[in-house]
Structure 1
């Protein structure tokens, strides 16, 4: 691929693919260049550094979330769709939460998502300050739940990079053996089958609380 036909969007999409496979530590310009059939130096015509690329890739991930139409969707349904969209996106891109702890991942994709969240909570009757708090509370829960979901992917990516697949299998078997010593862990794991996922349970609980808080201070808003 000639350098003058390579675009920043192509580089970012390729970076996302590398990050999905190997995480942040697996991303470097040489690996990226090889994936695109280019010299590593060609990347620097479009991005300043690996850190810049991680930020662009993270914002690209946020832009993948489909937003609800607030004109036709009640606030409760809209915020549920937004939370699920973020959860599914972060679960796919297990590297994103670690990246957000070391990089300021913010651009058009993240801003677009945040703006829609705030508008949804404002439509519930929350003040500007309350909408900010509600959106932040739900997002913190979503990121934590998705990070837990993505931890297995991160472990497997780490094992692949170090050739430690067998060591990971042994570690998992050891963890299961330790958990087996505690009856409640075994009982609760078995009884959870067929129930709503912890994410869905937690999201519904938080939104129930927000709905109750809104109802106590003002008339019922559209969508409750």
Structure 2
């Protein structure tokens, strides 16, 4: 008997899973759609199972047995294409820029996933290891080894991915705009005598910096700030790199 073809990366279906015909990708896509609609804090495995017409046990079968495995699979799905967003022969610094620009673009397509990707360790795991390999390959080409490689990697992930997590941090979900109005009013009430520099800069900072805001980066653009940080981190690593010119241009004939 000829078996039905399976989607790339999908497990062979057995038992109850075979009877429902789901794939791992379909489960992950449905979970992302639920979080897009209701937010991470409202995510419900039972509601996910109901939307797919299966039991929670079927969901667990596909993603590894726990909600944490599902969250790791969600994180991996967002980063799965980052190892191919750049030209393979580009300098290592340019590859890093493209990887982290691609990361930010991917998270901005699903901003309600941002807390899962940066602030919760339950999204960690080897499911999304392809882009880790791509980052390490770029740093290795710059000459980073051992503890220097570790520190450079953490600077990139903590600084740039952390920026995106903070940029898209959700506000209170239950106050129907009242919280935003209160914060905006408090900005107007900053005492110029007590905080002269803050008061003077408020026209440029209010609702435009991480601390003094009432809307996140899904509504207010942080593009220029991210670009500034990307330059600082990548250019800083280039200045520290043992082999800043590791990739040489081919000789001209």
- Scaled to the shorter chain, the TM-score interval is 0.7 to 0.9
Other-structure match for 2:132:
114
Please provide the CA RMSD for this pair.
Answer: 3.4
- 1:220 partner SS: coil
Q: Structure 1 or 2: larger helix share?
A: 1
Pairing partner for 1:200 from 215, 227, 236:
227
In structure 2, the residue corresponding to 1:197 is in which secondary structure?
A: helix
Unaligned runs of 5+ in 2: 1-17, 193-198, 210-220
Q: 1:11-160 counterparts in 2 under 5 A?
A: 11-40=27-56, 42-47=58-63, 48-68=65-85, 71-91=88-108, 92-98=110-116, 101-103=120-122, 105-109=124-128, 111-151=129-169, 154-155=170-171, 158-159=172-173
Alpha-carbon distance change, 196 to 69 in structure 1, aligned in 2, over 3 angstroms: closer
When residues 195 and 145 of structure 1 are mapped into structure 2, their CA distance, relative to the original with a 3 A threshold, is closer
Q: Are the aligned partners of 2:83 and 2:130 in contact in 1 as well (CA < 8 Å)?
A: no
Aligned length, in residue pairs: 213
Q: Work out which of the two has the higher radius of gyration on C-alpha atoms and give 1 or 2.
A: 2
Q: Secondary structure at the match of 1:72?
A: coil
Give the stretch that moved more between structures: 32-41 or 141-150.
Answer: 32-41
Distance 2:181 2:222 in 1: 29
Question: Judging changes above 3 Å, is the alpha-carbon distance between structure 1 residues 41 and 174 closer, same or farther for their aligned structure 2 residues?
Answer: farther
Normalised by the length of structure 2, the TM-score is 0.69
Between 1:42-51 and 1:203-212, the stretch displaced more is: 42-51
